[in-house]
């Protein structure tokens, strides 16, 4: 017996996406860009896309331009067959999985890039991953041009990324609506992430401390503790763990991502830490 046929379109070239788009003309298209190794968090985006649009297309592309030289591009998890089955189960209509030379025919170092404003990318993850958001904005811009979606869906889990994309779409008058989707978590609070598979058993046990620290800081701020005191307590909770390196834990304005000190002001708390070699990020709304 052969493998069951997949019920969605698979496109690997720009022309194939264009011909799928011709077939979908007159219907709204929702787009979910991913790097694959799909999990329930990605499917939360697909579910929202299906409720919002007539057709849903997912891209699977591990984008070399957004990885630094010492980052995990080579060992980023890849599981295309499994990803296809997940897309099938969740009723995706098309998957675009281009090779690197389809996206960067001149090579990724020779491409025109998108430069988000410094205010959005110099802090938080941007401070630890120089060039990362240029890579993200560039590939998302290219994917938007290829797919021509009506709406595109991004997880709040990568909150700085969501703001960079929202600003890019606004600033460059892109004809696409950017929709943020709340973070899906394990029962113990750990945000779902493709990188969680790299956590050792011991690191996996410790990983929910990230969300716990954010939740405690949020409650403390909402019950009158100053932002600086709440942040200091949350930081010390993480830095006291063995084999865990805190990169940042900050309260920021949810749109500008600039630091916030007024507990009444709109505020989101964001964190990144390395559990061994595995870099985890998370964030939580404090005041919308
Ligand atoms: P990635 O494949 O990691 O680039 O993620 C693709 C999209 O899925 C991004 O918009 C992420 O923010 C989103 N995403 C990843 N993990 C989660 C999660 N746990 N909950 C919601 N969205 C997520």
Verify whether ligand 1 is closer than 6 Å to residue 190 (CB atom). no
Can you tell me the distance from the alpha carbon of 59 to that of 95, in angstroms, rounded to the nearest whole number? 6
Scanning the structure block, which residue is given the tokens 């957004």? 66
Give the ligand 1 atom nearest the CA of 193. 16
Which pLDDT score is estimated for 224?
96
Verify whether ligand 1 is closer than 6 Å to residue 63 (CB atom). no
Q: What is the chain's pLDDT, residue by residue, as a tens digit (288 residues)?
A: 556 688 999 999 999 999 999 999 999 999 999 999 999 999 999 999 999 999 999 999 999 999 999 999 999 999 999 999 999 999 999 999 999 999 999 999 999 999 999 999 999 999 999 999 999 999 999 999 999 999 999 999 999 999 999 999 999 999 999 999 999 999 999 999 999 999 999 999 999 999 999 999 999 999 999 999 999 999 999 999 999 999 999 999 999 999 999 999 999 999 999 999 999 999 999 999
Choose among 97, 13, 115, 111: nearest CA to 65.
111
Can you tell me the distance from the alpha carbon of 138 to that of 114, in angstroms, rounded to the nearest whole number? 5
Verify whether ligand 1 is closer than 6 Å to residue 42 (CB atom). yes
Find the 175 Cα to ligand 1 centroid distance in Å: 22
Take atom 6 of ligand 1 and give the residue whose Cα is closest.
34
Cα atoms in the Cβ-side hemisphere of radius 13 Å centred on 99: 4
Which pLDDT score is estimated for 1?
56
Choose among 216, 163, 198, 193: nearest CA to 282.
193
Q: What angle do CA 70, 160, 79 make, to 5 degrees?
A: 55
Helix (H) or strand (E) holding 168: helix 159-171
Choose among 74, 72, 55, 53: nearest CA to 9.
55
> How far is the CA of 13 from the CAs of 44, 59, 109, in angstroms?
26, 12, 21
Can you tell me the distance from the alpha carbon of 200 to that of 90, in angstroms, rounded to the nearest whole number? 29
What residues pair up with 59 in beta bridges, in sequence order? 33, 96
CATH code: domain 194-287 is 3.30.1300.10
Verify whether ligand 1 is closer than 6 Å to residue 61 (CB atom). no
Q: Which three-class secondary structure state does DSSP give residue 240?
A: coil
Domain spans, the chain = 9-181, 194-287
**Range 234-240, long-range pairs (CB < 8 A, 24+ positions):** 234/269, 234/271, 237/209, 237/212, 237/213, 238/209, 238/210, 238/213, 238/271, 238/273
Architecture of the 9-181 domain: 3-Layer(aba) Sandwich (3.40)
Residues tagged active-site = 42
Choose among 28, 78, 89, 35: nearest CA to 59.
35
Sheet strands (E) in the chain: 9-11, 29-34, 55-60, 94-96, 151-155, 177-181, 244-252, 267-275, 278-287
Find the 245 Cα to ligand 1 centroid distance in Å: 23
pTM of the shown model: 0.97
């Amino acid at each position: 017996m052969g493998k069951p046929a997949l019920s969605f379109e698979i496109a690997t070239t720009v022309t194939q996406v264009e011909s799928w788009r011709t077939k979908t003309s007159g219907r709204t298209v929702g787009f979910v860009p991913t790097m694959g190794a799909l999990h329930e968090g990605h499917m939360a985006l697909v579910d929202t896309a299906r409720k919002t649009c007539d057709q849903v297309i997912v891209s699977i592309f591990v984008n070399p331009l957004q990885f630094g030289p010492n980052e995990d591009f080579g060992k980023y998890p890849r599981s295309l067959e499994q990803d296809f089955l997940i897309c099938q189960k969740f009723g995706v209509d098309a998957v675009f999985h281009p090779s690197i030379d389809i996206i960067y025919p001149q090579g990724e170092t020779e491409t025109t890039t998108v430069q988000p404003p410094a205010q959005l990318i110099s802090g938080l993850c941007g401070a630890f991953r120089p060039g990362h958001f240029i890579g993200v904005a560039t590939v998302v811009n290219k994917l938007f041009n290829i797919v021509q979606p009506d709406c595109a869906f991004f997880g709040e889990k990568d909150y700085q990324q969501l703001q960079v994309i929202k600003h890019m779409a606004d600033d460059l008058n892109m004809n696409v609506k950017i929709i943020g989707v709340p973070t899906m978590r394990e029962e113990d609070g750990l945000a779902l992430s493709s990188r969680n598979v790299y956590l050792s058993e011991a690191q996996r046990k410790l990983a929910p401390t990230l969300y716990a620290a954010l939740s405690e800081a949020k409650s403390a701020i909402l019950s009158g503790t100053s932002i600086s005191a709440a942040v200091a307590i949350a930081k010390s909770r993480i830095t006291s763990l063995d084999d865990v390196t805190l990169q940042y834990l900050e309260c920021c304005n949810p749109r500008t991502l600039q630091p916030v000190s007024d507990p009444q002001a709109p505020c989101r708390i964001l964190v990144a830490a390395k559990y061994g070699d595995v870099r985890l990020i998370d964030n939580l709304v404090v005041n919308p």
